[in-house]
């Protein structure tokens, strides 16, 4: 797969070639038959390559381990902290329906207005033209303001946002661990806060048959973190004590903790797929199975991918290799 190392702008050169012309990404998948275009696209290859590169990068590593934190990483965390602060400044409103608090629309309107400015603060001056293109993925990554829902398609937009920052050379190959442990992890915290505060509906949830109502990637990268762990096996993640003692080190266990905080009743009933996964003998088998499931259940599902947008950095054109 395309590793981050081969993406333009992450090799020797400091700035990408000047002839890059950016564009505001747009919808290209309008009918089910368009899905074939997506699977053959440069965007799909680069997106999947990005996910798998990070999967390797965090293998066997704890969230609390030492890793390099570059200036762009710090700036991305600051951006996410801003989104978090806006939640505090936009409390939920009193309304008859329990779910989908309308205050989310107020919060979202602020992001919609400020996204380009937020992105411009992360990228260097000579790449200023990329801001409108990259900002689209940021806006798409926090949920839908009409339906007040959030799901794996929004999560994919955030991964695409980070992938674009790699493609223009803002994030580099030695940022891999920080991308997952610092930026993506902070993103998850902010999304959980959004979900709780505004009681967001799960978008396109398969209910008990889905892996999780809201996220997928932290289960992939989180299972990679646990590969070859000396004592924690997949069967342990359904043990409350193990989760409580280890969740600060492992993304996968953070996700389990959040599910148990949000849902009542037996784990096997509300999270049947995860319960089944706890029977898999090794974390590397779990990791491989989740990657297959992610492709099938998220990336190859029309209801998810119809919202994905394509531009110059993640093009709908077929792979050129």
For tokens 């929004």, name the residue. Answer: 154
Say how far apart CA 220 and CA 290 lie, in whole Å.
6
214 and 76 in one domain?
no
- Across the chain, which has 321 residues, the per-10-residue mean pLDDT values are 47 51 97 97 97 98 97 98 98 94 98 98 96 98 97 97 97 96 98 97 75 94 98 96 98 96 92 95 98 96 95 95 64
pLDDT tens digits, one per residue of 126-148: 999 999 999 999 999 999 999 99
Q: What is the pLDDT of residue 12?
A: 43
Identify the CA nearest to 209 among candidates 270, 265, 290.
Answer: 270
The residues that bridge with 202 in the sheet, in sequence order, are 150
| Separation CA 134–CA 162 (nearest Å) | 9
Range of the domain at 149: 26-60+69-205+302-310
Residue 15 lies in a domain: no
pLDDT at 10: 44
Q: 């990228």: which residue's tokens?
A: 123
Same domain, 199 and 215: no
89 CB burial (10 A radius; 0-12, 13-18, 19+): exposed
Rounded CA separation 161/171 (Å): 11
What pLDDT shows up at residue 4?
52
Q: Which has the closest alpha carbon to 110: 134, 86, 136, 143? A: 86
In a domain, 316, yes or no: no
The verdict on 109 and 248 lying in the same domain is no
d(CA 170, CA 13): 12
Judge whether 14 lies within some domain.
no
| Domain co-membership, 40 together with 161 | yes
Q: Does residue 306 share a domain with residue 178?
A: yes
Q: Helix (H) and strand (E) counts for the chain? A: 15, 4
In 3D space, the residue among 230, 179, 210 whose CA is nearest the CA of residue 63 turns out to be: 179
295: burial class by Cβ within 10 Å (0-12, 13-18, 19+)? middle
Q: Assess if residue 222 is contained within a domain.
A: yes
Same domain membership, residue 128 and residue 250: no
DSSP code string of 104-129: HHHHHHHHHHHHHHHHHTTS-GGGGG
DSSP H or E segment with residue 259: helix 251-262
Give domain status of residue 38, yes or no: yes
Residues 231 and 165 in one domain: no
Q: Which pLDDT does position 204 carry in this prediction?
A: 73
Residue carrying structure tokens 């000047």: 18
The answer to whether residue 21 is domain-embedded is: no
257 with 188, same domain: the answer is no
Write down the pTM of the prediction: 0.94
Q: Is residue 19 part of a domain?
A: no
Q: What is the pLDDT of residue 19?
A: 57
Q: Angle at the Cα of 143 (from 100 to 64), degrees rounded to 5?
A: 110
- Confirm whether 134 is domain-assigned: yes
Total domains present in the chain: 2
Sign of the Cα pseudo-torsion (214, 51, 156, 139, in order): positive
Q: What is the 3-state secondary structure (H, E, C) of 212-237?
A: CCCCCHHHHHHHHHCCCCCCCCHHHH
pLDDT value for 13: 44
């Amino acid at each position: 797969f395309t590793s981050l190392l081969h993406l333009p702008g992450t090799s020797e050169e400091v700035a990408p070639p000047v002839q890059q012309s950016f564009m505001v990404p747009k919808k290209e998948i309008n009918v089910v038959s368009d899905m074939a275009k997506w699977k053959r696209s440069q965007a799909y290859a680069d997106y999947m390559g990005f996910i798998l590169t990070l999967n390797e990068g965090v293998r066997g590593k704890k969230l609390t381990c030492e890793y390099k934190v570059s200036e762009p990483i710090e700036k991305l965390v600051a951006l996410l902290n801003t989104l978090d602060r806006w939640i505090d400044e936009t409390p939920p409103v009193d309304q008859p329906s329990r779910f989908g608090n309308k205050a989310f629309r107020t919060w979202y309107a602020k992001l919609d207005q400020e996204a380009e400015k937020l992105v411009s603060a992360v990228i260097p001056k000579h790449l200023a033209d990329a801001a409108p293109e990259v900002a689209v993925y940021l806006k798409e990554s926090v949920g839908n303001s009409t339906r007040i829902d959030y799901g794996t398609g929004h999560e994919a937009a955030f991964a695409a946002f980070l992938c674009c920052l790699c493609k223009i050379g803002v994030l580099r190959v030695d940022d891999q661990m920080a991308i997952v442990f610092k930026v993506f992890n902070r993103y998850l915290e902010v999304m959980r806060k959004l979900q709780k505060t505004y009681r967001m509906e799960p978008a396109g949830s398969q209910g008990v048959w889905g892996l999780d109502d809201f996220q997928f990637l932290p289960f992939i990268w989180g299972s990679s973190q646990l590969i070859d762990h000396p004592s924690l096996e997949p069967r342990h993640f359904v043990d409350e004590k193990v989760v409580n003692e280890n969740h600060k080190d492992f993304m996968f266990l953070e996700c389990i903790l959040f599910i148990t905080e949000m849902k009542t009743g037996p784990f096997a009933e509300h999270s049947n797929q995860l319960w089944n996964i706890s029977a898999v003998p090794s974390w590397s088998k779990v990791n491989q199975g989740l990657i297959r499931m992610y492709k099938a259940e998220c990336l190859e599902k029309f209801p998810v991918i119809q919202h994905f947008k394509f531009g110059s950095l993640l093009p709908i054109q077929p792979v050129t290799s």
